């Protein structure tokens, strides 16, 4: 009798997956990466300058930039934010010069752009020359390079809380007709205001727009000198500068870059006494 074969049993093991319980490590890893990022940001801040720390702190205290406008896109977030120099005119001068050097056409007109710290604030002057002008002859219409330079200045000045004065000046060449140099200097200053407000200067930032005709010549010995034709932009101090600094500045630039001539002239007039005759007014100057 043949032997019976033992039955064959096939055992199948069913392995159940861990399902959603196997991804807990991802949460822990994400927490670790976040903590490392925060750690390196703290290290970066500790090693950064005081200006950077103020800018970052200002953003978290006032994200919308409605306070001191530090750390926002308005004031140029980052350590190079120009708003930190709002009352440090020497630092502001360096920042503006750096921004101007990055302008493509600046090298051609760099001798026509002068910046000087005065008792009023930082005075930026765009001076015309025999070969380089910022306005059409006898007209308030700006040239392309005037628009470019004024726009570059406006982008930086607009980040500041400081008030701005804009002045127009002409030389002493007489005009013919009803339109004179008082009108021309005022119209050119107003043109500069419009251009700068197009490129970043705020509506409430411009405190004064003034036309001086030829009554404040830069080169008094040569009333027809082309550098007497200029636009002056004065960035005012937020607070009054220290008395000593203001006195030193006034002696240095005479309030309009004339090396103290105005102060000497004032003293000379006092010495003349009451019998001194007033000088006749000069005719309105122009181009």
Which residues are CB-contacts of 157 (< 8 A; sequence separation ≥ 6)?
96, 164, 196, 200, 201, 205, 233, 235
pTM of the model: 0.56
Same-domain check for residues 64 and 153: no
Same-domain check for residues 207 and 76: no
- End of a domain among 85, 110, 125? 85
Same-domain check for residues 140 and 162: yes
- Distance, in Å, from the CA atom of 171 to the CA atom of 46, rounded to the nearest integer, reads 54
In a domain, 19, yes or no: no
In a domain, 115, yes or no: yes
Same-domain check for residues 101 and 61: no
In a domain, 3, yes or no: no
Same-domain check for residues 30 and 65: yes
- Structure-token pair, residue 282: 């000069």
Same-domain check for residues 200 and 69: no
- End of a domain among 68, 85, 102? 85
Tens-binned pLDDT, residue by residue, of the chain (287 aa): 566 778 887 887 776 665 555 677 888 889 999 999 999 988 888 888 776 777 777 667 666 554 444 333 444 433 344 444 567 888 889 888 888 888 777 778 888 999 999 988 999 999 998 877 899 988 999 999 899 899 999 998 998 999 999 999 999 988 777 889 999 999 999 999 999 999 999 999 999 999 999 999 999 999 999 999 999 999 999 876 555 544 444 444 444 444 444 455 544 454 444 444 444 434 444 44
In a domain, 243, yes or no: yes
**Residues comprising the chain, all counted:** 287
pLDDT the model gives residue 73 = 40
- Distance, in Å, from the CA atom of 160 to the CA atom of 122, rounded to the nearest integer, reads 13
Same-domain check for residues 247 and 160: yes
Which residues are CB-contacts of 218 (< 8 A; sequence separation ≥ 6)?
125, 127, 169, 225, 227, 228, 230, 256, 257, 258
pLDDT the model gives residue 113 = 92
Same-domain check for residues 71 and 194: no
In a domain, 145, yes or no: yes
Same-domain check for residues 125 and 65: no
- End of a domain among 63, 85, 107? 85
Q: Any idea what DSSP says for residue 142?
A: B
pLDDT the model gives residue 193 = 96
Specify the number of domains making up the chain: 2
- Structure-token pair, residue 105: 């056409």
CATH number, domain containing residue 174: 3.30.1330.60
CB atoms within 10 A of CB 13: 4
Same-domain check for residues 45 and 162: no
CB pairs under 8 A, 24+ apart, for 255-259?
255/118, 255/119, 255/120, 256/123, 256/216, 256/218, 256/232, 257/114, 257/116, 257/118, 257/123, 257/125, 257/218, 258/218, 258/220
In a domain, 13, yes or no: no
Same-domain check for residues 249 and 229: yes
In a domain, 2, yes or no: no
- Distance, in Å, from the CA atom of 218 to the CA atom of 257, rounded to the nearest integer, reads 7
Q: Which range of residues forms the domain containing residue 66?
A: 26-85
In a domain, 153, yes or no: yes
Same-domain check for residues 132 and 268: yes
pLDDT the model gives residue 279 = 46
């Amino acid at each position: 009798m043949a032997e019976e074969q033992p039955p064959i049993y096939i055992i199948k093991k069913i392995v159940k997956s861990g399902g959603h319980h196997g991804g807990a490590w991802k949460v822990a890893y994400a927490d670790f990466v976040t903590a490392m990022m925060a750690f390196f940001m703290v290290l970066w801040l500790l090693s950064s300058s005081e200006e950077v720390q103020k800018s970052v702190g200002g953003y978290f205290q006032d994200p919308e930039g409605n306070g001191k406008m530090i750390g926002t896109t308005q004031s140029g977030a980052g350590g190079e934010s120009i708003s930190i120099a709002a009352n440090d005119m020497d630092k502001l001068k360096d920042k503006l010069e750096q921004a101007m050097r990055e302008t493509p056409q600046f090298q051609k007109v760099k001798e026509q752009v002068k910046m000087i710290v005065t008792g009023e604030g930082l005075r930026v002057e765009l001076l015309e020359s025999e070969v380089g002008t910022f306005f059409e002859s006898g007209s308030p219409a700006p040239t392309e390079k005037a628009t470019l330079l004024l726009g570059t200045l406006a982008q930086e000045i607009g980040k500041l809380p400081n008030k701005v004065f804009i002045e127009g000046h002409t030389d002493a060449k007489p005009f013919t007709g009803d339109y004179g140099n008082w009108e021309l200097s005022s119209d050119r200053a107003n043109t500069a205001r419009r251009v700068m407000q197009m490129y970043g200067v705020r509506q409430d930032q411009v405190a004064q727009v003034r036309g001086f005709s030829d009554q404040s010549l830069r080169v008094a010995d040569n009333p027809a000198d082309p550098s007497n034709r200029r636009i002056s932009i004065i960035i005012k101090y937020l607070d009054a500068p220290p008395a000593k600094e203001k006195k030193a500045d006034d002696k240095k630039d005479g309030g309009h870059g004339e090396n103290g001539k105005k102060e000497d002239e004032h003293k000379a007039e006092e010495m003349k006494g009451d019998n001194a005759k007033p000088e006749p007014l000069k005719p309105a100057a122009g181009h």
